[in-house]
Every structure is written in structure tokens, then in C-alpha cells.
Amino acid sequence: MARPLCLVPTMGALHEGHLALIRAAREKVGASGTVAVSIFVNPMQFDRKDDLEKYPRPLDRDLAACEAAGADLVFAPDPGQMYAADHSVTISENRLSTTLCGAARPGHFTGVCTVVMKLFLLFRAEFAIFGKKDFQQLAIIRRMVRDLHVPIEIIGHSTVRESDGLAMSSRNVRLTPEQRAAAPSLYRALSAAAGLLKLGERQAGPVLDAAKHYLAQTMTFRIDYVALVDAETLEPVAVIRRPALLALAGFFGDVRLIDHIELHADF
């Protein structure tokens, strides 16, 4: 493989958000470098068996999309190639993973860290790029790289959204037409709450209340969490004095969606 190499880890069911990562990877390494995409539905990071079973796997379509977006190679292993039948070693992060999705999905980020480290070891890439939509995941991977001295640069790419504001996700295809019509309310709720900062609000309470009030009007959506945390430590904040994250997660039926908006004291 020509160097430098940029790895784009995915679980497949690619959409425009993934393709934006591939194009950004190409820009990073140039025409002479290598863009490698991994497609692996990692069973270790699913906390519900039904969610794993229903996760879409359109591999042929994904391969064509990777080629069209400029990827040089695709790594699409079977679970048995990634995990020995008696595998017993995992990688856990025990600070950033205790809030947000980590609090609601025990073991999820152990699965993420373990498979991502495997990919880093297999590819020995100079760069890896991840979408900011999974902000907690990105923060945890950066912490893992820092703490374990992994020789790779982690690049975060801005969330890619549909024209109505819904964050692109492979899970969106599982929404019913009615749920899909309601789903943009998630980002509107975040934006409405963030708008309080422009009016001078810095207390977490009113910002969180505004987001929850908006979400309560979104029929069929069940809130998992709405949280305001420090953008670096992911710990809850009471007053916004430095970059923060207003994040939410919840369910339309059995489809779990997440979203967030970054906040700044000078917003």
C-alpha cells in the first residue's frame, strides 16, 4: 500500500456522511496516498441482539460507493476473522465512557475500542478519520490513542445532515415514514435550546429544559438522555464557560438515534 495511508472505519450501510469521510481521507493523503475503508458490523459494540441482527448490510452497494468516492481498498472481514472463538482480551476506557451513550449502553465502548485498535494494528495507518456525529466515540478513540501512545493522527469530520437537518445515520433507513417525518425535530430541539446562549443564558438548567420541552412535543420519540457536558471531559456542566456539548439520544420504536450540537460561551 502506498503511503501515507488514511483509514476510514465504518460498519457499512454507507450514506453521504461516510462518503464525505472517504473524500476527506483522499484529500488528506493526496493522489499518491492510500485510502482504506473498513466495513465491519462489530458484534462487540451492540448491547441488543435484535439491533445487531437488524443492522443493514448492503455490501455490494457499499463497495460500489467506496470505489466511486475514491477509496483504494475495502477491508470487509467476517466476525470470525476479527475475533477468535475464545478471545479474551479487550480494551476498555473508564472515564469518558461513563456518561452519555456509555451510561446507557454498558460495554459498547469496550467493543468500539477493541475493534478500532485491531484495525489500527492491522493497517498501521498514518491517519484515521471519524465523523463527529458519534462525538463520544471520537473523544474516546482520541483518548485511547493518547494514553496508549498509538502512532496515528485522528481526524474528526463535521456531522453531515439531510436537507431537513436530520443527522445522517445508517439507522435512518429503518424509520417508518411517520418517524422519518418527525426525526428532524431532534436537531431543531438542540438548535432551539442552543439559541438561548445568544440571549445570554449560560446556566445548564434552562438549556436542558428547553431541549426537553421541544422533544416532548415530538410524537413517538422516547428520550434516552438529554445532557450538557464539557466538550473535552464529557463531564456534566452546570454553567457554560468553555466549549460544551448539548447531546441527546432516544428511540423511534426500536431505532436508536443520537445527535448533538457544540456550544461555546461566546455563542
pLDDT tens-digit readout, 16-26: 999 999 999 99
Query: 10 Å Cβ neighbour count for 232?
Result: 14
Rounded to whole angstroms, the Cα distance separating 5 from 33 reads 6
CATH superfamily placement of domain 170-263: Pantoate-beta-alanine ligase, C-terminal domain (3.30.1300.10)
pLDDT tens column, 63-120: 999 999 999 999 999 999 999 999 999 999 999 999 999 998 889 999 999 999 999 9
Q: Which three cell numbers stand for residue 86?
A: 475464545
**pLDDT level of residue 176 (50, 70, 90 thresholds):** very high
Catalytic position from the list 18, 108, 157, 260:
18
| Position 37 pLDDT exceeds 90 | yes
CA distances from 236 to 26, 64, 182, 227 (A): 36, 42, 28, 7
In the chain, where does the domain assigned CATH 3.40.50.620 lie?
5-157
Q: In 3D, which of 152, 133, 143, 135 has the Cα closest to residue 94?
A: 143
pLDDT tens column, 120-161: 999 999 999 999 999 999 999 999 999 999 999 999 999 999
Global confidence as pTM: 0.94
What local confidence, expressed as pLDDT, does residue 219 receive?
81
Domain 5-157 fold is Rossmann fold (3.40.50)
| Position 267 pLDDT exceeds 70 | no
Q: What is the mean pLDDT of the chain?
A: 95
Q: Which three cell numbers stand for residue 19?
A: 462518503
Residues in the chain: 267
Rounded to whole angstroms, the Cα distance separating 134 from 237 reads 20
Long-range own/partner contacts, residues 237-245 (CB < 8 A, 24 or more apart):
237/204, 238/203, 238/204, 238/205, 239/202, 239/203, 239/204, 240/197, 240/202, 240/203, 240/204, 240/207, 240/264, 240/265, 241/202, 241/265, 245/135
What local confidence, expressed as pLDDT, does residue 104 receive?
86
**pLDDT level of residue 265 (50, 70, 90 thresholds):** low
Contact (CB, 8 A) for 76 and 36: no
In the chain, where does the domain assigned CATH 3.30.1300.10 lie?
170-263
Query: 10 Å Cβ neighbour count for 97?
Result: 25
Residue 18: active-site member:
yes
